[in-house]
Amino acid sequence: MSNIFTILIILVVVWGVSNLVGFYNKTKVSTEGPPRSQVAAPAADPLPPLPPALESSLAQARAGGVEGIKEWLAANQSALRDPRRAAIELDYAQLLVRSDPAGARRIYQAVKARTAADSPVYDRVQKLGKLFD
C-alpha cells in the first residue's frame, strides 16, 4: 500500500512541476514580447510626410501606373516639396524609362540638378545615375 502512495505522490509532484514550468514559460513570453524574428522593424523613412489627402491620392495614382503618376504630379506639383517631390519623380522616371527613355532621362537630370549632397534622396540619385547617364 505504501508503494502505491509513493508512486501517487511522485506523479502529483511531476504534474505540479510541469504546470509550474508551463506557467513560467507563458509568463516569460508575455513579459518579453514576441521573439525578435516576429518583430517587424519600423520603416525608417527620412522623407517628410505628405498630407493625408495627397498620400491617398498618390496611392491611387501609383495603381494607375505611369499615366496615373504623370497626371498626379501635374495636378499636385505645387503642393510638393523636395526631397519628397524628388523621390516621387524618381519613381516616375523609373517607370517611364521603358516607354520613354528620353523623358525619363530629362526627369532624372532635373532631379539630379536640384538634389544637394545632404539630401535623403542623394544616394538614390547616385545609384540611378548608372541607369540614366
What are the average pLDDT values for consecutive 10-residue runs of the chain, which has 133 residues? 83 86 75 55 64 82 85 84 85 86 89 87 86 74
**Predicted local confidence at residue 42, as pLDDT:** 46
What would you measure as the largest C-alpha separation in the chain, in angstroms? 96
Give the separation between CA 77 and CA 20, rounded to whole angstroms: 63
Residue 58, burial from CB neighbour count under 10 angstroms (0-12, 13-18, 19+): buried
Q: What is the pLDDT of residues 24-47, one digit of tens each?
A: 887 766 565 555 555 454 455 677
Give the separation between CA 133 and CA 105, rounded to whole angstroms: 8
Give the separation between CA 133 and CA 130, rounded to whole angstroms: 6
Give the separation between CA 65 and CA 57, rounded to whole angstroms: 13
**Predicted local confidence at residue 34, as pLDDT:** 56
**Predicted local confidence at residue 109, as pLDDT:** 92
**Predicted local confidence at residue 36, as pLDDT:** 55
